[in-house]
Amino acid sequence: MDKVLQIGDIQIACSQVLAQLQDSPLLPQLLQEMATEELIDRIAAEFQLDLTPTTAEFERLSGQLAGIITFQGMNATQIATITTRTIKLQKFKQAGWGNRVGEYFQLVQSQLQRVTYSILLVEDGLLAQELFFRIQSGEQSFAELAIEYSQDETAPKGGLIGPILTKDIAPEIIQVLAQLTPGGLSPLFQLGNYYGFIRLNQILSPQLDESLSPVLLDQLFDNWIQTQLPQSPSLALAPPENIATNSPMSMPIFAPDFTPVPASKENQGNQL
């Protein structure tokens, strides 16, 4: 007998869900999640990693999930499954790359730098020159003139842009900003059909803090998992010297730093 999913007053046969899932863009994501979980279980067994949530970890996360609207309506079993899977994944990431975050931060630090700057663009070159001299002389502020004259989409905000990652800024703008120090006003330049200038307001150097560390940990794991999943199902654990060296951030992919436990009787009960 076909099982049925109950959503409010609506009942949907599981066979119908599976049939529709085959043509859904959700299928690749589901398959990747399943393959990732299988890979983690396999490596945890290989290196005797204990990924079991503690009672405190489980209660804390399950309580948080229950209060998120996305998970409301799920029963206790479903919440427990998601909680356990989430904690297991985080423990796996921490075991494999927790001590590599600082090293990775040094490699990607320049790509994490953010800036704020102001830009003023007009189609009339002579007007751009006049506005430039007004700001340079202190006659009017950059924001005032940008709001009144700029034809850039940032005009309502006084020309302000950012904070924005420097890697996300157009190359021609980066070239101008690279010549400035905070507070500095660029020379006049032409950008397409417009004339204008830029002021660099702030350079915000990244700090390896509690908010950034998890982001970098996720990147290390994501970069590595991309090298592993294509090898499934005949997956071989890749030793560090065989790890590929290309990643979405053009940085080396860090192999997980697991310490294998010797397969001897006296070590069989040990866990990392």
Same domain? For 131 and 200 the reply is yes
Render pLDDT for 112-132 as a digit per residue (tens, 0 to 9): 999 999 999 999 999 999 999
| Residue 231: band (very low, low, confident or very high) from pLDDT cuts 50, 70, 90 | very low
Give pLDDT, residue 252: 61
Query: What residue type is 199 in one-letter code?
Result: R
Render pLDDT for 172-196 as a digit per residue (tens, 0 to 9): 999 999 999 999 999 999 999 999 9
Same domain? For 96 and 216 the reply is yes
- Give the chain's end-to-end CA distance (angstroms, integer): 45
Which residue has better confidence, 167 or 154? 154
Query: Of the spans 209-213, 235-239, 241-245, which averages the highest pLDDT?
Result: 209-213
Cβ pair 216, 101 in contact under 8 A: yes
Task: Kindly compute the dihedral angle of the four CA atoms of residues 243, 248, 254, 255, in this order, to the nearest 10 degrees.
Answer: -50
Same domain? For 98 and 230 the reply is yes
Render pLDDT for 72-84 as a digit per residue (tens, 0 to 9): 778 888 899 999 9
| H or E segment and range at residue 91 | helix 76-97
Closest by CA to 37, choosing from 225, 220, 247, 253, is 225
Has residue 139 been placed in a domain?
yes
Has residue 160 been placed in a domain?
yes
- 199 φ/ψ angles, rounded to the nearest 5 degrees: -120, 125
Has residue 185 been placed in a domain?
yes
Tell me the average pLDDT across 38-49: 91
Strands (E), 139-236: 160-165, 189-191, 194-204
Same domain? For 215 and 198 the reply is no
Same domain? For 200 and 215 the reply is no
Give pLDDT, residue 8: 67
Give pLDDT, residue 143: 97
The DSSP-derived string for 106-162 is HHHGGGG-EEEEEEEEES-HHHHHHHHHHHHHTSS-HHHHHHHH--STTGGGTTEEE
CATH number of the CATH domain containing 155: 3.10.50.40
Has residue 184 been placed in a domain?
yes
Domain range for 20: 4-105+211-255
Has residue 128 been placed in a domain?
yes
Same domain? For 19 and 58 the reply is yes
Give pLDDT, residue 258: 75
Taking 70 as the threshold, does the pLDDT of residue 157 lie above it? Answer: yes
Same domain? For 215 and 193 the reply is no
Give pLDDT, residue 185: 96
Give pLDDT, residue 37: 92
Same domain? For 86 and 8 the reply is yes
Same domain? For 26 and 42 the reply is yes
Rounded to the nearest integer, the mean pLDDT of the chain is 83
Same domain? For 154 and 127 the reply is yes
- Structurally, the chain folds into a number of domains equal to 2
Taking 50 as the threshold, does the pLDDT of residue 211 lie above it? Answer: yes
Has residue 260 been placed in a domain?
no
Same domain? For 95 and 127 the reply is no
Give pLDDT, residue 241: 34
Has residue 268 been placed in a domain?
no
Give pLDDT, residue 119: 97
| Residue 259: band (very low, low, confident or very high) from pLDDT cuts 50, 70, 90 | low
- 111 φ/ψ angles, rounded to the nearest 5 degrees: -80, -10
| Residue 139: band (very low, low, confident or very high) from pLDDT cuts 50, 70, 90 | very high
Same domain? For 161 and 132 the reply is yes
What is residue 199's three-state secondary structure?
strand
Q: Which residue has the tokens 């945890």?
A: 44
Has residue 272 been placed in a domain?
no
